[in-house]
Amino acid sequence: MYIMIQTMSENKVIDEAKQGEALVVESPLNASGKKLFLESYGCAMNFSDSEIVASILKEKGFSTTSDFSEADVIFVNTCAIREGAEQRVRKRLTDFKKVKKTNPDLIIGVLGCMAERLKSQFLEEEKLVDIVVGPDAYRSLPQLIEIAESGQKAVNVLLSKEETYADIAPVRLATNGVAAFISITRGCDNMCSFCVVPFTRGRERSRDPETIVNEAKELFQQGYREVTLLGQNVDSYLWTGGGLKKENLSVEELNNATSFSQLLERVAQVHPDLRLRFSTSHPKDMTDDVLHMINKYENICKYVHLPVQSGSTRMLEMMNRGYSREWYIERINAIREIVPECAISTDVITGFCSETEEEHQETISLMEWVKYDFAYMFAYSERPKTLAERKYTDDIPEEVKKRRLQEVIDIQQKNSSEKTNAGIGKIHRVLVESISKKSAEEMSGRNSQNIVVVFPKENFKPGDYVNVLATSSTGATLIGKAIK
Ligand code: SAM
Ligand code: SF4
């Protein structure tokens, strides 16, 4: 029996049309009880949440299926970040409608950000849905299923000030057995004006570092060799004993607190062979301490995801990002100085409210200056109830947003392949993840900078560290040969 997970693929260049591209992998759960089909859309955080959901239902004896037509329960873990993401979920629900016709006892649940945004309205709009559950209410899923089984609709969209699911050992889904996610914070306290996340995921909470370190240790013992620490703003991580982040801490609380750089150090010390990544860094909060920590430990990957959103200070102010173009440039200079080998990636939004052609050019000039290794790029999509929806007019025509998006994608494609090509002739320490998709005779893995490296299989296996001399590239991937 299997649980099926679909998630957005980690493309170097993502445009609106590619969002939601499905990655389908299967992983066994319990072999008894009712059958569950689970699908996850959106970001890594959502994917990590699906692992928590799977764990909660495993405890209740659920077996799982990769075929939704034989499921007793279908759960869709949704994303609300852009309009397109929501449309994709609604379209997917029509596939399930057909099954419900032949099996009226089938229970369909909508989980995650879209569920939180629409709440019980979802039940009115999509008659086939039985359960609506927000991201902080997954512990109540077994009870909600029971309610739905009795023929009633069930909703729990309460957001919590404490919930971090710290005690739940996630079931690893879609796993290659080498790399796993660990959530370190939930929610977000930044009110970026374009963003729906603070409304769908609630206030920021940090997770007990002890449980994070223990999860990393267990993963290492199970054979995993890479963990990615996840949070909407990892630099804001601060453990002071649980609950919401306090504005003012006493000296004693400060002395006992764990900051993000301290957490990085603790996880890096789990084992030198456990590689460490993290996402997302925030330009207003990323400190030199964090950069020095990246430099200090070989096993902390030399990679920072630092979303800029726009190269124009006026746009950044309207976006409520808390930094200017100059501040951002200073942070990039700090990365270059403290961690010279560091790869940098970003997120960009084109066509935000009132963005002029000159301001768009400022984004382009910044991208040309930074020369990002990777970027995730999006056309602005107005989201209900956000600050931008209330304060500004979404006045950039769709075709202009799309044209600007294409311009930033073109630059990024050029920069990404230049960055990859710069790796030719160099030796890369690669963590092997799997057999290459293109050839069973080759292995595939990533270097510290997150570039995919492919090389002859020989006797290597997933989880090995291999030194590979890169001899050519395909633009996005380095090709090479293992050296002694
Ligand atoms: N917390 C991260 C940060 O501050 O950079 C990002 C989280 S969000 C899930 C991922 C990205 O989606 C954002 O960085 C932004 O580029 C994009 N995004 C968020 N809201 C958007 C919107 N309304 N329209 C288009 N893109 C959006
Ligand atoms: Fe959204 Fe801004 Fe929070 Fe990122 S930091 S999740 S963009 S509000």
Least confident of 62-76, 296-310, 429-443: 62-76
- Does residue 22 carry a pLDDT above 60? no
Round to whole Å and give the CA distance between 217 and 221: 6
- Which pTM value belongs to this model? 0.93
- Does residue 173 carry a pLDDT above 90? no
Q: What is the mean pLDDT of residues 386-401?
A: 98
Least confident of 61-65, 89-93, 265-269, 288-292: 61-65
Q: What is the mean pLDDT of residues 237-256?
A: 88
Nearest-atom index, ligand 1, CA of 232: 1
Question: pLDDT value at position 484?
Answer: 81
Residues in the ligand 2 pocket, defined by CB under 6 Å = 188, 190, 192, 195, 197-198, 232-233, 282
Ligand nearest to the CA of 191: 2
From ligand 1's centre to the CA of 87, what distance in Å? Answer: 17
Closest residue (by CA) to atom 19 of ligand 1? 195
Share of the chain above pLDDT 90, in %: 83
Residue with the bigger pLDDT between 334 and 29: it is: 334
Closest residue (by CA) to atom 13 of ligand 1? 347
Average pLDDT score, the chain: 91
Residue with the bigger pLDDT between 176 and 148: it is: 148
Q: Is any atom of ligand 1 closer than 6 Å to the C-beta of 280?
A: yes
pLDDT interval class at 253 (50, 70, 90): confident
Residue 7 near residue 23, CB atoms below 8 Å: yes
- Does residue 255 carry a pLDDT above 90? no
Question: pLDDT value at position 33?
Answer: 77
For a mutational test of ligand 2's pocket, the pick from 79, 186, 195, 386, i.e. the residue with the most ligand atoms closer than 8 A to its C-beta, is 195
Closest residue (by CA) to atom 16 of ligand 1? 347
From ligand 2's centre to the CA of 191, what distance in Å? Answer: 7
Question: pLDDT value at position 245?
Answer: 86
Closest residue (by CA) to atom 15 of ligand 1? 347
Q: Is any atom of ligand 1 closer than 6 Å to the C-beta of 401?
A: no
Question: pLDDT value at position 31?
Answer: 55
Question: pLDDT value at position 17?
Answer: 37
Residue 7 near residue 45, CB atoms below 8 Å: no
From ligand 2's centre to the CA of 126, what distance in Å? Answer: 28
- Does residue 217 carry a pLDDT above 90? yes
DSSP state at residue 234:
G
Question: pLDDT value at position 248?
Answer: 84
pLDDT interval class at 272 (50, 70, 90): very high
Q: Give the ranges where 103-236 is alpha helix by DSSP (H).
A: 113-118, 121-125, 141-149, 197-201, 209-221
Phi, psi at 28, each rounded to 5° = -70, 145
Question: pLDDT value at position 3?
Answer: 29
From ligand 1's centre to the CA of 195, what distance in Å? Answer: 6
From ligand 1's centre to the CA of 380, what distance in Å? Answer: 9
Question: pLDDT value at position 28?
Answer: 52
The radius of gyration of the chain from alpha carbons, rounded to an integer in Å, stands at 22
